[in-house]
Structure 1
Amino acid sequence: MAHPLVPEVGKKAAVAWLGGRMAWCAWFDDALYVVSGPGEQELGELHDGIEVTLRGDHGGRVVTWPAAVTRVEPSGEEWEKVAPQLAGKRLNAAGSTDEVVARWASTNVVYALRPGSDAITGTDLPDGSLAAPPRPSGAARPTKRPFRLHRVRRHKG
């Protein structure tokens, strides 16, 4: 049985941290659902035991729990129930709900993350950041000093 705080926070969550990486998500019934693949967030292969951290209305961590991860298969009953709802919650999706679901079925993976019984809440949460370091990117540039038209003089006084 999951900690009662997990579904309450999960229902309100729009994003979750999965092993230190932020991902958009949606909670339905008893699981947190995420989509990974081309055109969506690249989460890689998710595995059992990945730590899921959810935040509260104040923006701080509320609960962390290890997840039992399952792939939602496009031909299954769970897919038929969850994929259209998940697509409806996907902001800025290209195409209609049916087009998004069809694209996910062919090129993406939908994961169901179900909580275990050993959630970490309240004062047991760590104080520091658990964010993964940024991945290297060719888009990064060195920060330049701001341009100033006139020299700034400091007044002595």
Structure 2
Amino acid sequence: MSDPTPAAAAPAPEAPVNVTRLLAEVARASSVLWVEVEARPYPLWYVWHDDGDPRGTGPAAYVVVGEGEQQLPELPEEVTLILRSKDNGGRLLRLTAATRTLAPDTPEWDAAVAVLGPARLNAPPGLEERWRHGCRIVRLTPHGVPLEGPGEYSRDTHATVPASTAATTATWRPWHLGGRTRRR
């Protein structure tokens, strides 16, 4: 007697993505996010701060903007955050976040500095005072349904023309001692 051929197994339905958990994991793993302001994305280093910490209310991303730090225009009440994979740089989540600038000399500002300070690479002496007098600490609190996420990515390439800056080379490259290397 021959055994009946087993039917082909139906593909298992995909489990829904837990966006809250994905957001927390991606935000903790990376140190750079992109903030879209007036349709232009700006890369920012940040520190992710979760719930349950007595120093802050989290979950939120805290960024330092201003003199001697990263430059960013004044933020509206809501911005779009783009979180990318640390492994391959691919876009994982695009979502809306509320912005709030923290006032110096408040407990929340002190808590943010306590979290941001150790994460700042090559921190100069007097960092806290410099931040207090010449920078803004902004809290970005994600909320709502993601604009893009696993299984719901835009088909657009998101390729844009590079923003024009004073650092752009507008003329021919300078003369080189010994000439330029020839291409083969």
Q: Distance in 1 between matches of 2:47 and 2:160?
A: 20
Alignment partner of 1:81 is 2:102: no
Q: Distance in 1 between matches of 2:160 and 2:62?
A: 20
Q: Is the 1:3–1:117 contact (alpha carbons within 8 Å) kept by the matching residues of 2?
A: no
Q: What's the RMSD between the two structures over aligned residues?
A: 2.5
Residue 3 of structure 1: SS of its match in structure 2? helix
Residue 44 of structure 2: aligned partner: 23
TM-score normalised over the length of structure 2:
0.70
Specify whether residues 93 and 131 from structure 1 end up closer, same or farther in structure 2 by C-alpha distance, changes over 3 A only.
Answer: farther
Q: Distance in 2 between matches of 1:133 and 1:5?
A: 30
Pairs within 5 Å for 1:128-147 = 128-129=157-158, 133-138=162-167, 140-142=169-171, 144=173, 147=180
Q: Is the 1:71–1:109 contact (alpha carbons within 8 Å) kept by the matching residues of 2?
A: yes
Specify whether residues 148 and 82 from structure 1 end up closer, same or farther in structure 2 by C-alpha distance, changes over 3 A only.
Answer: closer
Q: Which runs of 5+ in 2 are unaligned?
A: 1-18, 51-58
Identity %: 29
Alignment partner of 1:101 is 2:122: no
Pairs within 5 Å for 1:1-150 = 3-19=20-36, 20-29=41-50, 30-56=59-85, 57-95=87-125, 99-119=126-146, 120-126=148-154, 127-129=156-158, 133-138=162-167, 140-142=169-171, 144=173, 147-148=180-181
Residue 8 of structure 2: aligned partner: none
Q: Distance in 2 between matches of 1:112 and 1:27?
A: 10
Q: Which amino acid aligns with 2:137?
A: V
Specify whether residues 123 and 141 from structure 1 end up closer, same or farther in structure 2 by C-alpha distance, changes over 3 A only.
Answer: same
Runs of 4+ displaced beyond 4 Å: 143-146
Q: Distance in 2 between matches of 1:67 and 1:125?
A: 18
Specify whether residues 143 and 124 from structure 1 end up closer, same or farther in structure 2 by C-alpha distance, changes over 3 A only.
Answer: farther
Residue 16 of structure 2: aligned partner: none
- From the two aligned structures, give the one with the greater helix fraction: 1
Q: Which amino acid aligns with 1:4?
A: R
Q: Which runs of 5+ in 1 are unaligned?
A: 153-157
When Rg is computed on C-alpha atoms for both structures, the one with the higher figure is 2
Q: Is the 1:72–1:111 contact (alpha carbons within 8 Å) kept by the matching residues of 2?
A: yes
Q: Distance in 1 between matches of 2:42 and 2:169?
A: 19
Q: How many residues align?
A: 147
Residue 6 of structure 2: aligned partner: none
TM-score normalised over the length of structure 1:
0.81
